[in-house]
Amino acid sequence: PPILFMARRPEDLGLEPDPAPNDSLAEPNDSVEANVEAPASTVESSFTVRQAFHTRAFWLLAAFSAAGFMVQAGVSLHQVPHYINQGLPGPSAALTASIFAFAQIFGSIFWAALGRRVQVRFLLAAAAFVVAAAALATSASATLPTALTSAAAVGVGVGGLHLLVRLAWADYYGREHLGAIRGFAMSAQIGGQALGPVMSGFMFDATGSYQLPLMVFTAAASLAGLLVLFATPPKYPVARTAVSRV
């Protein structure tokens, strides 16, 4: 089975995480042979769950995940019935779901290419604003070309959400306790995904249209984009940790 060939981390195979510090790529020298300790700047800081809970970024990223993925699920699961309600034939409306899915592939590649050059919180905000604009465009789309364009835009934005949220948690809190930290944060993300389609369905039943839920999703994605701009990278509590170990 493939799991037999998997390693838990690059260090288990004698490798460095990407991107490796420049110093680690140099040829071994006398200081390395003498087991001189590496500079502190090259050592990864890994937060514990308790330490993560005491940072502002944790709660902002959790709120972003809840709002962003509420929009993702609410729009993607109701876009086909929305377009049918707008007058598109069933096969044409179903095509928007395929375009949405394929656009996520392109979106993941696009946002990944920017990940090395731009701070992740700015990329998260940009992806959320793309989703917000796409949700607004979806509400106004009544023809096949505009529907396909809106579905593609939603897919590009959602592709960024899926990729960049994972990147943010790893960049901010390190790898050692990432599973536990992500486990707590996933409750917000999954809660948002569960809420979005249900809320959209109830609003449609009440109004006979998807205009209201799409407006709510536009506002929610916009708010998420603004919130995540304040999710600056947390500072590792070095002094507190040092005192606690004495």
What percent of the chain has pLDDT above 70? 85
Contact assessment for residue 174 and residue 44, using Cβ atoms and an 8 Å cutoff: yes
- Rounded to whole angstroms, the Cα distance separating 29 from 6 reads 31
pLDDT tens for residues 59-80? 999 999 999 999 999 999 999 9
Instruction: Summarize the confidence of residues 26-37 as an average pLDDT.
Output: 45
Instruction: Summarize the confidence of residues 147-169 as an average pLDDT.
Output: 96
Global pTM reads: 0.82
Q: What single letter denotes the amino acid at residue 72?
A: Q
Task: Please determine, for residue 136, whether its predicted confidence score (pLDDT) is greater than 80.
Answer: yes
Name the average pLDDT for the chain: 87
Instruction: Summarize the confidence of residues 195-210 as an average pLDDT.
Output: 96
pLDDT tens for residues 211-232? 999 999 999 999 999 999 999 9
Indicate the pLDDT class of residue 8, thresholds 50, 70 and 90.
Answer: confident
Task: Please determine, for residue 245, whether its predicted confidence score (pLDDT) is greater than 50.
Answer: no
Contact assessment for residue 130 and residue 160, using Cβ atoms and an 8 Å cutoff: yes
Report CA 17 to chain centroid distance, whole Å.
20
**Is residue 47 classed as helix, strand or coil in its secondary structure?**
coil
The pair of three-digit structure tokens given for residue 156, joined into one six-digit string: 């590009």
Indicate the pLDDT class of residue 18, thresholds 50, 70 and 90.
Answer: low
Task: Please determine, for residue 13, whether its predicted confidence score (pLDDT) is greater than 70.
Answer: yes
The pair of three-digit structure tokens given for residue 21, joined into one six-digit string: 């510090």
Instruction: Summarize the confidence of residues 84-94 as an average pLDDT.
Output: 94
Q: Quote the pLDDT of residue 229.
A: 97
- Rounded to whole angstroms, the Cα distance separating 220 from 214 reads 10
Task: Please determine, for residue 85, whether its predicted confidence score (pLDDT) is greater than 60.
Answer: yes
The pair of three-digit structure tokens given for residue 238, joined into one six-digit string: 């070095």
Q: Quote the pLDDT of residue 3.
A: 74
Multiple choice CATH, 49-228, 3.30.70.2190, 1.20.1250.20, 3.20.20.210, 3.40.50.1370:
1.20.1250.20
- Rounded to whole angstroms, the Cα distance separating 147 from 183 reads 36
The closest alpha carbon to 231, from 164, 136, 162, 132, belongs to: 164
Other Cβ atoms within 10 Å of 4 Cβ, number? 5
Q: Quote the pLDDT of residue 61.
A: 97
Instruction: Summarize the confidence of residues 178-191 as an average pLDDT.
Output: 94
Instruction: Summarize the confidence of residues 232-243 as an average pLDDT.
Output: 71
Indicate the pLDDT class of residue 32, thresholds 50, 70 and 90.
Answer: very low
The closest alpha carbon to 224, from 161, 167, 168, 153, belongs to: 161
Instruction: Summarize the confidence of residues 154-168 as an average pLDDT.
Output: 96
Task: Please determine, for residue 37, whether its predicted confidence score (pLDDT) is greater than 90.
Answer: no
